[in-house]
A and B are shown apart, each in its own frame.
Chain A
Amino acid sequence: MLDQSTVARVELDWAGPERLTMNMGPQHPSAHGVFRAIVTLEGETVVAVDAVIGYLHRCHEKLAETLTYAQYPSIASKTDYVAAMTSEFAYVMAAEEIGKVEVPKRAQYLRVICAELQRVASHLLWLGTWCMDMGGALGGGATIFLYCIREREDILDLFESLVGARLLYGFYQVGGVRYDIPDGWVAQCRATIDRIDQRIGEYEQMLEQNPFFLARAKGVGVVSRELAQDVGIAGPLLRGSGIPWDLRRTAPYSSYEDFDFRIPVETDGDCFARYRVRMVEFREAITIVRQALDKLPAGPISSRPALKSVAQIRIQKGESYARVEGPRGEVGCYLIADGSAKPYRMKWRGASFSNLSILPHIIPGHKVADVVAIMGSVDPVFGEVDR
């Protein structure tokens, strides 16, 4: 028998503005990486957030100064490792802009196909993990996650038969792409995207007919138009806040002007709006891949002669800012070349970095459980936040 007189009594009924400081992370399953949020609570309500980042910092920008234009693209893929094609794309575009390097039409189309397949793969991972974060309300939590991972694997299979690697590719090279598509790849690609296109509708039904999902996503984490621009969030977050800004349309690159596609825009600015934008983007990305496969021109895949040395590509003096519309928004590469085989300075504008910096502005006032939903709807990839 426990002697009641020795048991410490804890006062449980909370009355008043006493504050509790709590760590979420650095190892928290909803962070999808290493991220520490120091949240200050009044009861269940968050009143302040201090975001601690940098756990995955590798100083890519210093690293890029030590690697040549031929070497760095495959390292660039390690910034945003969920959408590795995107960062390679931005880097080689920046170098091509300074060096006035032409890219053959076929290479431009292959770049678009891979970038759009990557968008589908990245959004699938986002959808699966976000739904799992929101947990038991969604039919046991892991259901959608496993479906999404299954679909994503099919896209990674396509990348594997194209490049040899499943996650980090080094596919984009200054002047073009590294490999042409192998025999049978187009048919495999069409079958894969047709299947995913059909299944996206099933996931939509599963989620949007689920009142728990709607309750957790609607009206949560609202970002106003004004705040969205002021902080500089991009991609589905910006379009979810009512701003029709997509670089593929507003500043077309790599032949995006050849394709017909819609830019989804939602005006509510909440988690549900961001979810809706991405669900439409699945379809639009698939539409673009179909059109690119239909119209894929013949010809060379690179304008550059085969390399005998990694230091062979020299880019003349100059600077450029190249940006692509990644799955998470504007991924920009600010490059300064000094005429040698390596850049003088390279700056990443990581979409996740800017998107994540919205958190301290929108989380206060929400419950702890909403922090998880909001963080997932932002879709940060910490390799890109910390670079």
Chain B
Amino acid sequence: MSLDEARSAIGARFSGAEVGTGTPLVVTVSPGQWAELAAFAKETLGCRFFSFLTAVDWKEPGLEVVAKVDNLDDGLAVMMKTRLGPGVSTCASLTPIYRGADWMERECWDMFGIRFDGHPDLRRILLDDTWEGHPLLKSYAVDTPHPPYR
């Protein structure tokens, strides 16, 4: 599927989606459409390769979840985004759709404290289970002391 075909297919299916023009194709949808967009990307756009999932803390506007998937046959790359909104830290999980999202969402929970609804095993992955706080939030200062590493 070409870039233009993908743009029009997304525009026709997801009303209110912001669709970019460049490569990778950036698509922003509401959190309610998040899992639906991922399923659409996989089944209809043929983006079966799961590249990565992460989040960005935009401070007052809140968190944004970002995931990138590729169609390796056509070289189509789609970067999906959703803004969770101020103070919101829950999001639908993509793990039932892409198995590669499993560890990435665990990392995202670890680093940003985002709860992914529908994730089968959401626990910390890089930090210790007893760690307090989520380091990649902008409110988490770089030099935050944490026992036993004071």
Distance in angstroms between the alpha carbons of A348 and B140 in the assembled complex: 19
B136 and A354 form a contact (CB under 8 A): no
On chain A, the residues within 8 Å of B136 by CB distance are: 59, 61-62
Q: Is A209 part of the contact surface with B, judged by Cβ < 8 Å?
A: no
Query: How many residues from B make CB contacts under 8 Å with A?
Result: 29
Among the listed stretches B1-9, B27-35, B46-54, B84-92, which one makes contact with chain A, having 4 or more residues with CB under 8 Å of it?
B46-54
Q: Is A251 part of the contact surface with B, judged by Cβ < 8 Å?
A: yes
Distance in angstroms between the alpha carbons of A230 and B24 in the assembled complex: 19
B79 and A66 form a contact (CB under 8 A): no
If A54-B127, A321-B68, A334-B54 touch, whether A354 touches B100 (CB-CB below 8 Å) is yes
Distance in angstroms between the alpha carbons of A226 and B48 in the assembled complex: 8
A229 and B49 form a contact (CB under 8 A): yes
Distance in angstroms between the alpha carbons of A334 and B127 in the assembled complex: 22
A347 and B54 form a contact (CB under 8 A): yes
B72 and A243 form a contact (CB under 8 A): yes
On chain B, the residues within 8 Å of A229 by CB distance are: 48-50, 72
A61 to B, closest residue via Cβ: B136
If A231-B100, A354-B100 touch, whether A330 touches B51 (CB-CB below 8 Å) is yes
Distance in angstroms between the alpha carbons of A321 and B70 in the assembled complex: 13
If A62-B142, A66-B142 touch, whether A232 touches B50 (CB-CB below 8 Å) is yes
Q: Is A126 part of the contact surface with B, judged by Cβ < 8 Å?
A: no
On chain A, the residues within 8 Å of B52 by CB distance are: 232, 332, 334, 347, 349, 354
On chain A, the residues within 8 Å of B125 by CB distance are: 53-54
Whole-angstrom distance from the CB of A320 to the nearest CB of chain B?
10
A57 and B99 form a contact (CB under 8 A): no
Distance in angstroms between the alpha carbons of A284 and B125 in the assembled complex: 36
The 5 lowest CB-CB distance pairs between A and B, nearest first, are A232-B100, A54-B126, A232-B50, A349-B52, A57-B126
Residues of A within 8 A of B (CB): 53-54, 57, 59, 61-62, 65-66, 226-227, 229-232, 243, 245, 250-251, 321, 330, 332, 334, 336, 344-345, 347, 349, 353-354, 357, 361, 386-387
Residues of B within 8 A of A (CB): 24, 48-52, 54, 56-57, 66, 68, 72, 75, 79, 98-100, 102-103, 111, 124-128, 135-136, 140, 142
